[in-house]
């Protein structure tokens, strides 16, 4: 079974997706990490972020792999071309580079094909922006998870403080979140939008455990154990 979780950055998708997967015994696929890995490789290769052809070639030809601890269905990290980039894809530099990279149709085509291949190999919680609309439109459970831009900015600042990376200036982070929302929702290729049959969940001011329980209940209604 596929559980699709889409929504803007900072809505809590990763936390929720991992917890739902652990509760139900599913694996988890973080599709944003794949776009980030392509952006990392482009910067590494010195490719221009405007060179759609070069970016498409990277997405088609460099193998992206998720690696696991033995017996654990939850991925521990991600590599591209054999190089572990788990930490390197979480920097502010990649935050900036990934939007233009993910807007390139050839990049999306290559990564969507890989996502379908991975997802069809088992039970997966798949998080991203276009999972319910494009990658797995037949998914029995689709969630569109949102939170106010202000709440997402507060969460991001806390996260940046904890990880000692990125800006800890609330206004700057809020402006960046609004800019990324605009880019992700207005791009021509697979813009961020809810699937018609998605359940909308707003995590603003809610305990994350309640959101997790609600998604697990939806999945159980569709036959997950
Ligand atoms: O979820 P994230 O912040 O790691 O995603 C990184 C970028 O990739 C973000 O700018 C949106 C883009 N993305 C996408 O276009 N489609 C997806 N399915 C997942 C992420």
pLDDT at 163 over 90: no
Task: Report the side by side order of strands in the sheet with 83-84.
Answer: 64-68, 75-80, 83-84
pLDDT of residue 157: 92
* Share of residues in the chain with pLDDT > 90 (%): 80
pLDDT at 217 over 80: yes
Give the mean model confidence (pLDDT) for residues 194-198: 96
pLDDT of residue 184: 82
Candidate from 98, 108, 111 with most ligand 1 atoms within 8 A of CB, to mutate:
98
pLDDT at 42 over 80: yes
pLDDT at 165 over 80: no
d(CA 133, CA 196): 8
pLDDT of residue 118: 96
Rounded distance from Cα 129 to ligand 1 centre (Å): 6
d(CA 27, CA 89): 21
- Annotate 101-166 with DSSP letters as a single string: HHT-HHHHHHHHHHHHHHHTTS-EEEEESSIIIII-TT-SEEEEEE--HHHHHHHHHHHHHHHT-S
Give the mean model confidence (pLDDT) for residues 82-96: 92
pLDDT at 126 over 90: yes
pLDDT at 150 over 90: yes
Q: How confident is the model at residue 46 (pLDDT cuts 50, 70, 90)?
A: very high
* Share of residues in the chain with pLDDT > 70 (%): 100
Rounded distance from Cα 104 to ligand 1 centre (Å): 12
What's the whole-number average pLDDT of the chain?
94
Two structure tokens written together for 222: 């569709």
Number of helical (H) and strand (E) elements in the chain, helices listed first: 8, 8
pLDDT tens for each residue of 92-102: 899 889 989 99
pLDDT of residue 18: 95
- Please work out whether the CB of residue 184 comes within 6 Å of at least one atom of ligand 1: yes
Q: How confident is the model at residue 220 (pLDDT cuts 50, 70, 90)?
A: very high
pTM for the complete prediction?
0.93
Atom index in ligand 1 nearest the CA of residue 130 equals 18
Give the mean model confidence (pLDDT) for residues 38-43: 98
Spatial CA neighbour of 91 closest among 184, 15, 165, 12: 165
């Amino acid at each position: 079974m596929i559980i699709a979780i889409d929504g803007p950055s900072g809505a809590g998708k990763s936390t929720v997706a991992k917890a739902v997967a652990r509760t139900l015994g599913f694996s988890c696929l973080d599709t944003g990490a794949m776009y980030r890995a392509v952006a990392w490789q482009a910067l590494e290769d010195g490719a221009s972020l405007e060179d759609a052809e070069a970016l498409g070639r990277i997405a088609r030809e460099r193998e992206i792999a998720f690696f696991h601890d033995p017996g654990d269905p939850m991925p521990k990290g991600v590599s591209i071309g054999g190089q572990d980039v788990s930490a390197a894809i979480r920097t502010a530099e990649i935050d900036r580079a990934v939007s233009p990279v993910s807007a390139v149709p050839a990049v999306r085509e290559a990564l969507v094909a890989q996502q379908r291949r991975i997802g069809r190999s088992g039970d997966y919680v798949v998080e991203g922006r276009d999972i319910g609309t494009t990658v797995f439109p037949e998914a029995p459970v689709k969630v569109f998870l949102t939170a106010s831009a202000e709440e997402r900015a507060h969460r991001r600042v806390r996260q940046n403080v904890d990880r000692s990376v990125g800006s800890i200036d609330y206004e700057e982070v809020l402006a960046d979140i609004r800019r990324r929302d605009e880019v992700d929702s207005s791009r021509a290729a697979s813009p961020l939008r809810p699937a018609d049959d998605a359940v909308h969940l707003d995590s603003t001011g809610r305990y994350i455990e309640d959101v997790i329980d609600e998604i697990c209940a939806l999945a159980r209604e569709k036959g997950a154990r």
